[in-house]
Amino acid sequence: MKPLRLPTIQTLRTALTAATGRTGASSAELYVKAGCSLRIDAAPWRTGAASPPASEDWRLHVGRVEERGWALRAGGPGRALFLAESGALPAPGGWRRLNRHSLRAGSLRLPTPHRRRSSLPGLAGKDVPNDDSEAFGRQLIRDVLERTRAELPGSCLIRARIDDGASASILANSAGVTGRTRLRLVTVRLDFAVERDGIRGSCSLYRAAGDPSGFDAAAMATEIADRLTLATAATTPSLPAREIAVAPALASSLLALLGPLFRGRDGWNTLQRLTSGHSLGPPDLQIRDDGAVEAGWIRTPTDDEGVPTRAVALIRDGEPGEPLLTWEDDGWSGFSAAGCRRRSGWRSPPEVSHSHLYIQPGTDSADAIRSGIRHGCYLLDRAPGGRCRATLGVSDNRREAGFEIDATGFVVERDRILGAIPRTRLTGSIRELFRGIRAVGDDLRFLPVPGAVGAPTLLLTGLQLEPVAHD
Amino acid sequence: MDTTVTARRPNELLASDVGTLTDALARLAVHPDQHTEAFFERLETVELLPRGASTRLRLRREQGLSVRRLEAGASRLASADAISGHTFASCCDRVTGTAGSIGPAPKIQVSRWLPVRMAEIERAERQLGKAVSRRRVGFPMEVTVRRHRRQVQVVHGRVSAPSQFEEYFSLRLKTPWGLWGGLLPSLAAEDLDPVAGCLVDRLRSRHLPEHPDTPRILVLGPCAAAVMLHEVVAHTLEADTLALTGAPDSVVGLKLGGVHLDVIDDPRLAPDGCGRFSDDEGMTVIARWLLRRGRVRQPLADLAWAGRCQRLIPGAARRANRHLLPGPRTMHLELLPTDLPEAELFQEAAGGLYIAEFESGTLDPFDGGCVLRAPCARRIGASGPADFVGPVEIRSRTVDLLAAVTAVGDRPLAAGAGWCAKDGSLLPVWARSPSVRLEGLV
């Protein structure tokens, strides 16, 4: 695929002058994004309900996508407009369709240049998907399939999807703020199924990496085999909830549920109510959001408004640290802003969002946490199609903030697996969840759940496990 | 009936001669069994956010094209965010993997955009407020109104289908006790009035605890019945869903429900402004009997599936946008009425629940498990729906849900329109259904 080309800052400034001149807007911002991606969809053809498909008989779809678009935000006090269009940025004469009536009720404020620089010095040299990417993707699917079949005979691939994309963006506003990003992200989604002892089970695995070589077919096959084994296992009658270890996949889902607690003034106030004079969690609990974290996939020097990103200590030593604040709230309660407005594409205006939200790894090894459980559960991941929700008490103060998430895992005693848990519901209050963290593992993993959310293995106490019947 | 749908239909999307494009595409097919097509798309979304939002008006306009080559069920697609001879030629090159695959780039011209009309969108909030007031209640709500316009044109290697145009509206309403979202064919008073009814039902059931179990008897109103049928009939009978667990055409003739279940998918019958005569592969759509007297008659299929399974008929391909491949999807589902008066659905149903709408539904394609969530329901008394109860979640299997339908009412209504998000592709879906009665769900 061709390298991604973007207009220069000077071109954007010329266009801004034309747009503000036509509309009479006192401020304006232009954002241009270009991207290209390769999508591989593979699934076996099926010729009969009982027979597994021959390994070579695949339904293969390959898409090569080139996307390009821009967005203009223009306005001032009392009037504003958001306009997004596909294709190249119009030439200076192409703004004639805008006029003073194009602005409608609203109010637009834009960031001004920031003295602080991003902790990420420059843009990494990211390439774009090419012909090798397609061969690499097809080989990855084949490898995972063969290894999974070797680990769990009878398992079959239902569907595989690889999205390998690169994007670049540039923005400038009338106050002089500029920003550039360049990203490469590859996601893999694999659906497998198996039938064992008359029980059909399935699982989905969704993983992301900064480039195609970031995937380990053997590790993915093991994860799939574990999940399929659980999905087709008989339910264990007792669910000891005294000690519950949660693997990074489930811990990330839990952290994603808590995301709103760490954003803005409302989140901060809710978090303060949860602490009510006590510690929120153990002293070794650190939760951060960092747009430039080394291990992340979407590391950028600025956010999608051109505000520099930085590491924000949301929970520091078990206590609320600082909230994730936009530039508009800079200085609120003495806290500094961070670049935290992201666009899901050129069609969307920037919205407050985490970049890399994660629990910092602790000193305990994940193996030690698992083997240290005297009699409890080790929960691997969310149960497919199960519940995953939290009530954070923002709109309804009468109820305590709580959560429930359907999970799958094992009953364990020391290093021994006593039984399987195809599906259970982990519930509790948010307060108990934080206070019940007994150990933080050293195996931080980022997962797309969605967004980049990361967590290591956690040991939890004080929560409840409820049986959930198979549908 | 009053309507606010665009009275003037737009011109064909491609203003230039499509003959040059069909010739160019014909050059791409190396074998006679290869199918090539070009898909041209134009989308416009006008969004008016609630008062107090920093930018109330958001206007998005996009157009682009994709070229696809299909052979033995495998596809290669290339897409771009512009419509021009150069991008068309570039996509052809990327699909074939050769430079200059169609020779010189053809000239492509597109028609003009329709004018942006704002009056109906700006009126909607006030009209909805009036519809709520007529029910003698009042509460704060934040209203987001969107108008969606989509025009597509498909050019085959042999023939070009006429341009298809859809215009519809979506509403997102935020109240102190939750969100309501849905699709409307227009913003006329007749279409907004049922929305007010849903909001008032939710007001009356706010803070009520979740209903603990599935009752013995359920009566689903037209909206709820349409959502259930969308999940358990339409999604289940999409060829790609069927292929997850077996051969798609092996289900033809299978009995899924009682003889009163006649379900048709016919995109031509979608509400005014939303109907289609050809699908997103340029194939003519048909009135497709999904279930005929409770038996599977014709699953939903696109060209790829129809090429693989001889018993399947194409014409049900849809794609969320030009960058995605088409797949078999429902568009307008219709459950045919019986002659059973609506009131008889409530006979000897005391203690059961009446559910007017489901807010979401999901289908597990692997095991047929279906989850339907209603924000509220009403307990059925001696004379019909009575007290409100809190949220209800129904977890069952496709076959059990369809087997539980024991009666179908006689008054079909356009109902249950919403966004279908299968595989992350957001598509509008429409339906027409009478009320139904379910018994014996566990």
Please give the interface size between A and B, counted as residue pairs whose CB atoms are below 8 Å apart: 147
* Contact across the interface for B82 and A68, Cβ inside 8 Å: yes
Task: Write down the pLDDT at residue B188.
Answer: 93
Select the highest-mean-pLDDT range: A81-95, A121-135, A382-396, B154-168.
A81-95
Share of chain B above pLDDT 70, in %: 98
Beta-carbon separation of B55 and A88 below 8 A? no
* Of A48, A64, A202, Cβ closest to residue B94: A64
**Cα B82 from Cα B405, distance rounded (Å):** 48
Q: What CA–CA distance (Å, rounded) separates A100 from A355? A: 36
Q: What is the pLDDT of residue B4?
A: 57
Domain shared by A128 and A17, yes or no: yes
* Tokens encoding B376: 């509220």
Q: Does residue B332 register a pLDDT over 60?
A: yes
CB–CB contact B77 A104 (8 Å):
no
- Decide if pLDDT at A375 tops 70: yes
Who contacts A180 (Cβ-Cβ below 8 Å, separation ≥6)?
A6, A123, A168, A169, A170, A171, A301, A302
Q: Is A108 on the interface with B (CB under 8 A)?
A: yes
- Residue where one domain finishes, among candidates A196, A231, A266: A231
pLDDT confidence of residue B161: 82
Residue A347 lies in a domain: yes
pLDDT at residue A297 greater than cutoff 90 = no
Regarding whether A249 and A377 lie in a shared domain, the answer is yes
Residue A117: is its pLDDT beyond 80? no
What percent of chain B shows pLDDT beyond 90? 79
Note whether B245 contacts A49, CB cutoff 8 Å.
yes
Do B247 and A49 lie within an 8 Å CB cutoff? yes
- Determine what percent of chain A falls in helix, strand and coil, rounding each to the nearest 5: 20, 40, 40
Report d(CA A46, CA A282) in Å as an integer: 52
Q: With an 8 Å Cβ cutoff, are A202 and B367 in contact?
A: yes
Asked whether residue B152 carries a pLDDT value surpassing 60, the answer given is yes
What is the reported pLDDT for A43?
85
- Select from A49, A82, A88 the Cβ nearest to the Cβ of B250: A49
Query: Which of A65, A159, A385 faces B79 most closely, judged by CB atoms?
Result: A65
Cβ contacts of A105 on chain B, cutoff 8 Å: 51, 56-57
- Inform me whether the C-beta atom of residue A106 falls under 8 Å from chain B C-beta atoms: yes
CA distance B260 to chain A (A): 26
Banded model confidence at residue A415, pLDDT cuts 50, 70, 90: confident
Q: Are residues A214 and A306 in the same domain?
A: no
Residue of B nearest to A399 (CA): B207
Q: Do the beta carbons of residue A341 and residue A283 sit within 8 Å?
A: no
- Residue B232's contacts (CB-CB under 8 Å, 6 or more residues apart) are B363, B370, B398, B401, B402
d(CA B84, CA B419): 31
What digits encode the pLDDT tens for the residues B78-116?
Answer: 999 999 999 999 999 999 989 999 999 999 999 999 988
Contact between chains at B80 and A48 (C-beta distance less than 8 A): no
Segment B353-378, tens digit of pLDDT: 999 999 999 998 888 889 999 999 99
Q: Are residues A405 and A286 in the same domain?
A: yes
- Interface touch B325/A66, C-beta < 8 Å: no
* Chain segment B253-291, per-residue pLDDT in tens: 999 999 999 999 999 999 988 999 999 999 999 999 999
Give the gap in angstroms from C-alpha B339 to the nearest C-alpha of chain A.
34
Q: What dotted CATH number matches B19-204?
A: 3.30.2290.10
d(CA A285, CA A364): 12
Rounded CA separation B238/B259 (Å): 21
Q: Note whether B364 contacts A63, CB cutoff 8 Å.
A: no
Q: What share of chain A in percent tops pLDDT 70?
A: 93
* B176: preceding bond cis by omega (within 30 degrees): no
In the prediction, which pLDDT does A25 show?
A: 95
Using the predicted structure, report yes or no on whether residue A93 has a pLDDT greater than 90. no
| Contacts A45 to B, Cβ<8 Å | 73, 243, 308
Residues 34-63 of A with CB under 8 A from B: 41, 43, 45-50, 58-63
**Same domain (yes/no): A128, A45:** yes
Q: Look at residues B219, B86, B239 and name the one whose alpha carbon lies nearest to residue A66.
A: B86
Residue A395 has pLDDT above 50, yes or no: no
Q: If you average pLDDT over residues B42-53, what whole number do you get? A: 94
Both A131 and A191 in a single domain? yes
Residues of A in contact with B53 (CB under 8 A): 106
pLDDT in tens, A137-162: 999 999 999 999 999 999 988 899 99
- pLDDT value, residue A192: 92
| Amino acid symbol at A132 | D
Burial of A138 (0-12, 13-18, 19+ CB in 10 A): middle
Q: Tell me: pLDDT of A49 over 60.
A: no
What region does B105 belong to: left with phi over 0, alpha with psi -120 to 50, or beta? beta
- Identify which of A49, A60, A69 has the shortest CB distance to residue B81: A69
Question: How many Å lie between the alpha carbon of B348 and the closest alpha carbon of chain A?
Answer: 28
Q: Is residue A139 part of a domain?
A: yes
Q: Which residues of B touch A41 (CB under 8 A)?
A: 325
**Could you say which of B54, B75, B367 has the minimum Cβ distance to residue A200?**
B367
Quick one: pLDDT band at residue B179, thresholds 50, 70, 90? very high
Supply the DSSP string of A261-278, one letter for each residue: GGBHHHHHHHHHHHHTTS
Same structural domain for residues A123 and A208?
yes
SS3 label, residue B92: helix
Cα–Cα distance for residue pair B160/B23, rounded to 1 Å: 11
- Which chain A positions have a beta carbon within 8 Å of B246's beta carbon? 46, 48-50
B399 pLDDT higher than 60: yes
> Tell me, what's the pLDDT at A51?
45
Would the pLDDT of A119 be above 80?
Answer: no
Written as six digits, the tokens of A267 are 């989140």
Over residues B23-40, mean pLDDT: 88
Over residues A68-79, the mean pLDDT reads 95
Q: What is the pLDDT of residues B194-210, one digit of tens each?
A: 999 999 999 999 989 98
pLDDT in tens, A210-252: 888 889 999 999 999 999 999 999 888 888 989 999 999 999 9
B391 contact residues in A (CB cutoff 8 A): none
pLDDT at A126: 57
Q: Closest to B55 (Cβ–Cβ): which among A69, A82, A200?
A: A82
- Which are the contacts of B338, defined by CB distance < 8 A and separation ≥ 6? B260, B407, B408, B409, B410, B434
Q: Does A134 touch chain B if contact means CB atoms closer than 8 Å? A: no
- Location of structure tokens 């379910």: B438
* pLDDT above 90 coverage of chain A, percent: 70
Q: Do both A341 and A223 map to the same domain?
A: no
Nearest to A82 among B58, B176, B240 (CB): B58
Res A467: pLDDT: 85
Chain centre distance of CA B315? 15
DSSP 8-state symbol, B231 = I
Q: Which of residues 357-376 of A touch B (CB under 8 A)?
A: none
In a mutational test of the B interface, the residue from A64, A200, A388 whose CB has the highest number of chain B CBs within 10 Å is: A64
Q: Where are the domains of chain B?
A: 19-204, 217-439
CATH code for the domain of A112: 3.30.2290.10
Contacting residues of B for A49, CB less than 8 Å apart = 245-247, 250
A145 is in which domain, residue-wise?
A: 9-231
Tally of domains within chain A? 2
- A275 & A318 share domain: yes
Once rounded to an integer, what is the mean pLDDT over residues B421-441?
93
Binary contact (B396, A67; C-beta < 8 A) = no
Residue of A147 and A197 predicted with greater confidence? A147
- Residues A177, A125, single domain; the answer is yes
Q: Which residue has the tokens 């090894």?
A: A365
CB contact under 8 A, A106 and B59: no
Give the distance from residue A197's alpha carbon to the nearest chain B alpha carbon, in angstroms: 15
Q: Which two tokens stand for residue A418?
A: 């006593």
Confidence of residue A50 (pLDDT cuts 50, 70, 90): very low
A46 interaction partners in chain B (CB closer than 8 Å): 243, 245-248
The pLDDT value given to residue A236: 84
The chain-wide mean pLDDT, for chain B, equals 92
Residue A53 above 60 pLDDT? no
Q: How much is the average pLDDT of B413-424?
A: 90
pLDDT at B157: 72
- Apex A161 CA angle, A294 and B279, nearest 5: 130
Whether the CB of A468 is below 8 Å from some CB of chain B: the reply is no
Average pLDDT over residues B4-33: 82
Compute chain B's Rg from CA coordinates.
23
CA angle A87, A93, A99 (to 5 degrees): 95
Q: What band does B1 get if pLDDT is binned at 50, 70 and 90?
A: very low
- pLDDT mean over A328-338: 94
Mean pLDDT score across all residues of chain A: 89
> How far is B95 from chain A, CA to nearest CA, in Å?
8
Q: CA torsion sign, A331 to A334 to A338 to A344? A: negative
Please name the residue that has the structure tokens 């307060």.
A431
ipTM of the complex: 0.91
Look at A377-391, B284-298, B402-416 and tell me which has the smallest mean pLDDT: A377-391
- Contact assignment for A60 to B74 by CB distance below 8 Å: yes
**Boundary residue ending a domain (A210, A231, A252):** A231
Position A108 pLDDT exceeds 80 = yes
Q: Does the pLDDT of residue A129 top 70, yes or no?
A: yes
Confidence band, pLDDT 50/70/90 cuts, at residue A132: confident
How distant is the Cα of B307 from the closest Cα of chain A, in angstroms? 12
Label the pairing between strands B405-408 and B436-439: antiparallel
pLDDT tops 60 at residue A394: no
Q: Do A272 and A299 have their domain in common?
A: yes
Where are any strands of DSSP class E within A260-398? Answer: 287-290, 311-316, 319-320, 341-342, 351-352, 356-359, 376-382, 388-391
Best mutation site among B43, B47, B55 for testing chain A: the one with the most A CBs within 10 Å?
B55
* Closest Cβ opposite residue B323 in set A41, A50, A65: A65
Residues in chain A within 8 Å Cβ distance of B75: 60-63
Average the pLDDT over each of A69-73, B27-31, B183-187, B235-239 and give the range with the smallest value.
B27-31
The pLDDT value recorded for residue A118 is 56
Q: How far apart are CA A149 and CA A136, in angstroms?
A: 20
